[in-house]
Amino acid sequence: MILSPSLLSSNFGKFAEELAALEAAGVKWVHWDVMDGRFVPNITFGQPVIQALRPCSKLFFDVHLMIEEPERYVAEFKAAGADMLVIHAEATKHVQRVLAEIRRLGMQAGLAFNPATPLSMLKWVAADVDMVLLMSVNPGFGGQKFIPATYGKIREARRILMAQGFGAVKIQIDGGVCPENAKALVNAGADVLVSGSAFFKHPPYKARLAAFAAALD
Ligand code: DX5
Ligand code: ZN
């Protein structure tokens, strides 16, 4: 299991310090929640902020775009230093084209599904993704309640990926993840867990990372 802490719940005035603290704690991935005020009601930060922080960190930058028409900014997020770029299935009319462009530019490509969005398109883009992000809350805000239907959706995503011969594609869960549900999520087939409030509100980070790992035993 990979834990990808979401900076949405960190101190926005101290990103450089937060990144250093995550790295010192032994975290490998960091999750950037980019929101445009249109795809979701909230606004956070964009590619200039990520670009400014890139020299401060060796962490794997897992960038979750909650923006309309993400195709407009793929090259800019590459230039900003994203390692994984995740777009929403609901945010573009040309999902396969955008995923292919993300890979062509040398990033890993992720596809996110809101809680009510069916996985029917996944079969047709299984060859084009490195990761599937299943939202376990409606995107826009941290600290929301986990939606239990997610467990069945993880199993369905894993079944579709296996059937297409892409069993190595990662499944990421985002929203309401905590040590209490981590084991059930991994057992259902999750590889990457995003955690915002349940991680950052419980320092020190090294102990919190250990708590997530211990929850899997
Ligand atoms: C929600 C974001 C999540 C969020 C998770 O729109 O995509 O990454 O930060 O926060 P928690 O873990 O608090 O639900
Ligand atoms: Zn996210």
- What CATH number should be reported for the domain whose range is 2-215? 3.20.20.70
pLDDT for position 6: 98
Which residue's alpha carbon is nearest to atom 4 within ligand 1? Answer: 142
pLDDT for position 117: 98
Distance between CA atoms of residues 84 and 17, nearest Å: 22
Angle, in degrees to the nearest 10, between helices 205-215 and 15-25: 50
Question: Is 170 exposed, middle or buried (CB count within 10 Å of its CB: 0-12, 13-18, 19+)?
Answer: middle
Domain boundaries, the chain: 2-215
C-alpha 100 – ligand 2 centre gap (Å): 21
pLDDT for position 130: 99
Residue with tokens 């997610």: 150
C-alpha 124 – ligand 2 centre gap (Å): 24
pLDDT for position 145: 98
Distance between CA atoms of residues 165 and 160, nearest Å: 9
Strands (E) across 67-107 are located at: 84-88
Angle, in degrees to the nearest 10, between helices 150-163 and 179-188: 30
pLDDT for position 55: 98
Q: Count the Cβ atoms, other than its own, within 10 Å of residue 12.
A: 12
33 given a catalytic annotation: yes
Is the pTM higher than 0.95? The answer reads yes
- Tell which residue, 217, 170, 158, 203, has the closest CA to residue 5: 203
191 given a catalytic annotation: no
Name the stretches of the chain with pLDDT < 50. none
Residues with CB under 6 A from ligand 1: 6, 8-9, 31, 33, 64, 137, 139-144, 174-177, 194-198
Q: How many CA atoms lie within 13 A of 34 on its CB side?
A: 26
Backbone angles phi, psi at 210, to 5 degrees: -65, -35
